[in-house]
Amino acid sequence: MRIISYNLRKHAAGGELADLVDENDVDVLCLQEADSEALPERLGHLMLADSTKTNRLGLAIYTSAERYDIRSTKVFAVHKSMHDRVLAPAHERLLAAHLVDRESGQDVLVGSFHAAPLTASNSLRRKQIAAAHEGMRSLAADLPAVMVGDFNYPWFIRGLERRLTTTGYELMRSTEPTYARYKFFTGYFDFVTSTGFSIDRVDVLPAGASDHRPISLAAHITAAA
């Protein structure tokens, strides 16, 4: 499964999506900070599986219309930060999809995730990540699962990696920083968590109109799955 994840920065990079799909070999496209009303039903060979409707920093998932059947999708609200309670920018922070590979018959779970901003604590973001994983599992237990997106977790990542390992998930960072809004502040914000998948590396694609760069990965189902 070839996946690209992109935080569009309040849909500023929405005009790049058609070329992004056309220029890259992609089966699943996961978006954050998208304007659901401005998203097309199709992007090249990809079809819109679902998107959030009431979230101004919306989430969306596109999948290969030829390769995957969409068994179900669901939006999840996780623990709110103070930023969420005051400004209400994003109460829905996970969009998950249960997909079936038409050729192999294999079921998989894919999630597009957007954690609370840096005004929140790492402790709260860890709770959001754990709740998001539980939400994906509520769609179907014991399936290979991969969650991508903007984790807003640039510091103390090793501790997060250790915690996730105890829950059966592996965290993968990109080969280069993904966030560069200011010249003096760059960092690794866009991650991948997975279980039942093998991921060799997470590459970073060229920068566009967003303050985040897209990430690209190939996820292979492990023999155990």
CA distance 6 to 19: 13
User: Is residue 21 within 8 Å of residue 47, measured between CB atoms?
Assistant: no
Number of domains in the chain: 1
Q: 3-state DSSP call for residue 85? A: helix
Identity of the amino acid at 56: R
* Residue keyed to tokens 């990696």: 161
pLDDT in tens, the chain (225 residues): 999 999 999 999 999 999 999 999 999 999 999 999 999 999 999 999 999 988 778 999 999 999 999 999 999 987 665 445 444 555 789 999 999 999 999 999 999 999 988 888 889 899 999 999 999 999 999 999 999 999 999 878 888 999 999 999 999 999 999 998 766 668 899 999 999 999 999 999 999 999 999 999 999 999 655
| Cα gap 200→132, rounded to integer Å | 23
CATH code for the domain in which residue 200 is found: 3.60.10.10
The residues pairing with 48 across neighbouring beta strands, listed in sequence order, are 62
Give the list of residues 6+ apart from residue 191 with CB closer than 8 angstroms, or none.
148, 149, 151, 153, 171, 172, 173, 174, 202
For residues 85 and 49, give the distance between their C-alpha atoms in angstroms, rounded to a whole number: 29
For residue 215, give the nearest of 178, 186, 168, 187 by alpha carbon: 178
Look up the pTM and report it: 0.93
**Residue 141 CB contacts under 8 Å (≥ 6 apart), including other chains:** none
| Residue 14, phi then psi, degrees to nearest 5 | -60, -30
Q: DSSP state, 136?
A: H
Residue 14's pLDDT is what? 97
pLDDT of residue 120: 81
Q: Which residue range is the domain that position 46 belongs to?
A: 2-221
Quote the CA–CA distance of 163 and 180 in Å, as a whole number. 27
